[in-house]
Amino acid sequence: MKYYKKALIAFEVMMSLQASAQNLVFPHHFHESLLTIDSHTDTPMVLLRSETDFMKNNCSSPYSKVDYPRMLKGGLDAVFFAVFTPQGSLDSLSYHKAYILARKMFARIDSLIQHNSDKLALATSANDIQKNYNSGKLSILIGIENGYPLNMKLDRVKEFYDLGARYITLCHSKNNQLCSSSTDKNQEEGLSDFGKEVVREMNRLGMMVDVSHISDKAFGDVISLTSKPVIASHSSARAICDHPRNLSDKMLEAIAKNGGVVQVCILSDYVKKIPPDLRYDSAFHILQNRFHQFENLTDTEKKLARKEIDSLQKVYPRQLASVHDLVDHIDHIVKVAGIDHVGIGSDFDGGGGLADCKDVSEIPNITSELIRRGYSAEEIQKIWGGNLMRVLQAQ
Ligand SMILES: [Zn+2]
């Protein structure tokens, strides 16, 4: 593909220049020449907040890690926005509420793109991403995080596909009507009968099945059922950081065999276990009790609680994992699954962020670390989107 060539030339120039001058500016030039894709951000949640304008730099807001100016600065060319709905009860009223929220997010994404069509464009295929890249526009893709708003209606898969969604993360942090979650009880339940129908329908339509968040049992069920390569849109390696949200070596091997891709997640808790700050924890505990465990709060109380949490975090800043720690995951996945099965899904705006990669503007630091560890230009392009493009094309 075209972008490989451009990246290769930039890489060769950079390496020859670096040989004479150890200058860290050059990796950034190389990074800019790559076609980069982030497979998971929760930016639609931020879009729904009236005070943030995606086209302006919102770096002063603690809630926003992705916007147009910072995507340009960080050289991110394409991003999957997650239409995320939190898990609630499995009854028709709750299903309906989740569906309304999901449709609201779709509408908000659509209006953002329509109002800025000279700078942004929806992409629903690998060709779209390439076309938008060539015309200097940033690609917005859509994934659905949590199959909850599908209700028990199979035709909603096509409805969401027609609205532009190209993956569904089958569940979130709790079990739902499709499958069991990696962070809930009764994990052995795996994929439900309805979940199986959804996977078949996604395969038929050409929509990627996202195995992030699902339990190990559900993962196994998906792998044996799917006829197409799957993605883990934001999951890392369990061998490096032992967390149920991450994938075991057996799972990494299964994804490699399936032809899919694991997009490492840069949420600090999944990257490295950092010892807790007991002073922060006890202060937070007191706050939590004062605000009745943050349940049934009025809007004014919610704002006040948020403000107090923010100032608490300023007093006791959280220690975060680093880009170095993250690339340990990439190295491991490459070792176990191979270079063709790894990519990056930041989870920005959903908790993602590292000490030296706090928002999208700092993603070139990942490329610098990959170069430092000896990855070739071609390998780095695979990690930054080439592999995901292949999986998207294979649907
Ligand atoms: Zn998630």
Same domain, 14 and 42: yes
User: Could you tell me which residues are beta bridge partners of residue 79?
Assistant: 38, 140
Same domain, 188 and 62: yes
Last residue within a domain, chosen from 318, 334, 351: 318
Same domain, 296 and 349: no
Question: Could you report the per-residue pLDDT of 114-167, keeping only the tens digit for each?
Answer: 999 999 999 999 999 999 999 999 999 999 999 999 999 999 999 999 999 999
Same domain, 82 and 38: yes
Burial track 254-285 (b if 16+ CB lie within 10 A, e otherwise): bbbebebbbbbbbbbebbbeeeeeeebeebbe
How far is ligand 1, taken at its centre, from the CA of residue 41, in Å? 9
Could you tell me the pTM of the whole model? 0.89
Asked whether the predicted pLDDT for residue 305 surpasses 90, the reply is no
Same domain, 314 and 341: no
Same domain, 177 and 308: no
Asked whether the predicted pLDDT for residue 241 surpasses 90, the reply is yes
Same domain, 108 and 242: yes
Query: What does the pLDDT average to over 230-246?
Result: 98
User: Could you tell me which residues are beta bridge partners of residue 168?
Assistant: 144, 209
How far is ligand 1, taken at its centre, from the CA of residue 24, in Å? 33
How far is ligand 1, taken at its centre, from the CA of residue 212, in Å? 7
Q: How confident is the model at residue 310 (pLDDT cuts 50, 70, 90)?
A: confident
How far is ligand 1, taken at its centre, from the CA of residue 145, in Å? 7
More confident residue, 2 or 362: 362
Asked whether the predicted pLDDT for residue 9 surpasses 90, the reply is no
Residue 229 vs residues 305, 370, 383: alpha-carbon distances, Å: 43, 25, 16
Same domain, 375 and 297: no
For residue 144 the two structure tokens come to 């659905």
Last residue within a domain, chosen from 262, 297, 318: 318
How far is ligand 1, taken at its centre, from the CA of residue 23, in Å? 36
Same domain, 64 and 186: yes
How far is ligand 1, taken at its centre, from the CA of residue 150, in Å? 17
The parent domain of residue 106 ranges over 2-274+319-393
Q: How confident is the model at residue 236 (pLDDT cuts 50, 70, 90)?
A: very high
Last residue within a domain, chosen from 318, 349, 380: 318
Query: What does the pLDDT average to over 44-71?
Result: 89
Q: How far apart are CA 47 and CA 59, in angstroms?
A: 14
How far is ligand 1, taken at its centre, from the CA of residue 172, in Å? 6
How far is ligand 1, taken at its centre, from the CA of residue 27, in Å? 30
Same domain, 59 and 144: yes
How far is ligand 1, taken at its centre, from the CA of residue 208, in Å? 16
Same domain, 66 and 101: yes
Q: Are 206 and 395 in contact (CB under 8 A)?
A: yes
Burial track 363-377 (b if 16+ CB lie within 10 A, e otherwise): bbbbbbbbbeeebeb
How far is ligand 1, taken at its centre, from the CA of residue 38, in Å? 13
**How confident is the model at residue 63, as a pLDDT?**
82
How far is ligand 1, taken at its centre, from the CA of residue 213, in Å? 7
How far is ligand 1, taken at its centre, from the CA of residue 349, in Å? 10
How far is ligand 1, taken at its centre, from the CA of residue 234, in Å? 7
Asked whether the predicted pLDDT for residue 51 surpasses 90, the reply is no
Domain count, the chain: 2
Q: How confident is the model at residue 61 (pLDDT cuts 50, 70, 90)?
A: confident
Same domain, 218 and 299: no
Kindly report the CATH number assigned to the domain that includes residue 188. 3.20.20.140
